[in-house]
Amino acid sequence: MGDFNKVSDILAEEVFNKNACLGSIKKAVAFGFWKNICGEKFAKFSKPYDIKGKTLFVAVKNPAVMQELIFYKSALLGKLKNYFSPVNIEIEEIRYDYKNWQKIAAGESYLKGDDSLEYYSNEEISKIELSVYEAEELKKVTNTISNLTFLDEKLRESMKRNIVTSTKAKKIRK
């Protein structure tokens, strides 16, 4: 008989190493701790909304806030390093954008999910059946995410949805 792996082990190897999940983890750290990183004053007028490569993108309310945050860029990068280093993620650049403030502040940003998960329609994904064992293992993973209470509830739900969608999409590809 061949080796059998738990679905949670496969998820850890296959899903968690995928860009979608790594992106969610990066965003969870940056978005979940932004208030601690930039301070209460700036947290009201700025919100991180994306990470591409080693660059964090932050929406700001207006150009004045953007100028002030640019002034503190080195200090913010240092604080980001403190939060990202334990999870082996590097952020070397911060880019500010005041044009997207309304959309980001309204919550239309990162919660949609990773574009790479949108190759299949919701209808195609919903038709995929998981075995009882796969469902149990996915439930363990999603429960672990639910317990990450330092993260925003919407972000936790987005991460769980992305993991389930990735797992089902993988079954479609096979």
The average pLDDT across 151-163 equals 78
Q: What is the pLDDT of residue 20?
A: 54
Alpha carbons 141 and 125: distance in angstroms, whole number: 19
CA nearest 169: which of 136, 124, 108?
A: 124
Q: State the pTM of this model.
A: 0.56
Whether the predicted pLDDT of 1 surpasses 60: no
The CATH architecture of the domain made up of 36-106 is 2-Layer Sandwich (3.30)
Listed in sequence order, the residues at least 6 apart from 59 whose beta carbon sits closer than 8 Å to its beta carbon are: 46, 47, 48, 49, 96, 97, 98, 100, 101, 103, 104, 105, 109
Q: Are 98 and 107 in contact (CB under 8 A)?
A: no
Residue range 118-147, pLDDT digits in tens: 456 778 888 888 888 888 888 888 888 888
Rounded to an integer, the average pLDDT of 29-51 is 85
The residues spanned by each domain of the chain are: 1-32+113-174, 36-106
Are β-strands 93-97 and 46-52 bridged in parallel, bridged antiparallel, or unpaired? unpaired
Based on C-alpha coordinates, what's the Rg of the chain?
Answer: 18
The least confident of 5-14, 42-51, 73-82, 97-106 is 5-14
Torsion of CA 160, 162, 163, 167, to 10 degrees: 140
Is a pLDDT exceeding 70 seen at residue 46?
yes
Does the pLDDT value for residue 2 go beyond 90?
no
Nearest to 107 by CA among 160, 42, 55, 152: 152
Pick from 60-64, 102-106, 141-145, 149-153 the range whose average pLDDT is largest.
Answer: 60-64
